[in-house]
Amino acid sequence: MTDVTSFIGKKIEELEKESSFTHYIELKDGLLLKREQEHSKVVDALLNFINNKNLKIVKTDDGTIVDISDIEYSKIEENLKLLENKKGIFWDEETDMCFALLGENFFSYIFPNSIMFSANEENAAKMASLLDARKLEYFGPERISRFKGENLKRKLGRNDPCHCGSGTKYKKCCLDNDLKETGSPRKVATYY
């Protein structure tokens, strides 16, 4: 992996573009499903994909990378399991702080009961297969629109900035109203 610390201070999409992560998967969340997905199954799928490798942990603040550091596989496994109880190094009470794992072949935000995953087409299909095997529900894998050269609509992710321009996360702003009105998250014309 190249020196990714040069991405500190930049938006996540720059790292994804430079890494040729062209496809995106997002697990459906409890608001949409009216139930939480099993955290242990989410963790199992991600750990299976990681396949005992050490990775980078990426800390972001509202989509901007603020820190990147190394993390050993044993710490990844331990802290992914703690995340279900909102504990461990992947949990922060700050609503704008998020943690992600970065490998040579993927990038994935991690949350209790959910992940947002990007990779190339082959690895996105591999992750989709792992999610299918565990009967987890998700959106995608879809080609990220900025790689298509066209402006396709996608469902706004709960941790994306809200479409109303308030600057807060979608889940803390208009998501509930959009779900009441249309039954699904708002579709937007750009990836972020």
- pLDDT tens string 74-85: 999 999 999 999
pLDDT, tens digit, 9 for 90 and up, residues 103-159 = 999 999 998 899 999 999 999 999 999 999 999 999 999 988 665 544 445 677 788
Q: Is the dihedral angle over the CA atoms 115, 121, 122, 128 positive or is it negative?
A: positive
Longest pairwise C-alpha distance within the chain: 45
Q: Are 47 and 145 in contact (CB under 8 A)?
A: no
Grade residue 160 by pLDDT with cuts at 50, 70 and 90. confident
pLDDT given for residue 150 in this prediction: 43
Q: Are 43 and 81 in contact (CB under 8 A)?
A: yes
Enumerate the β-bridge partners of residue 171: none
> Which residue, 125, 115, 147, 117, is CA-closest to 22?
147
* Helix, strand, coil percentages in the chain from 3-state DSSP, rounded to 5: 35, 25, 40
Whole-prediction pTM:
0.75
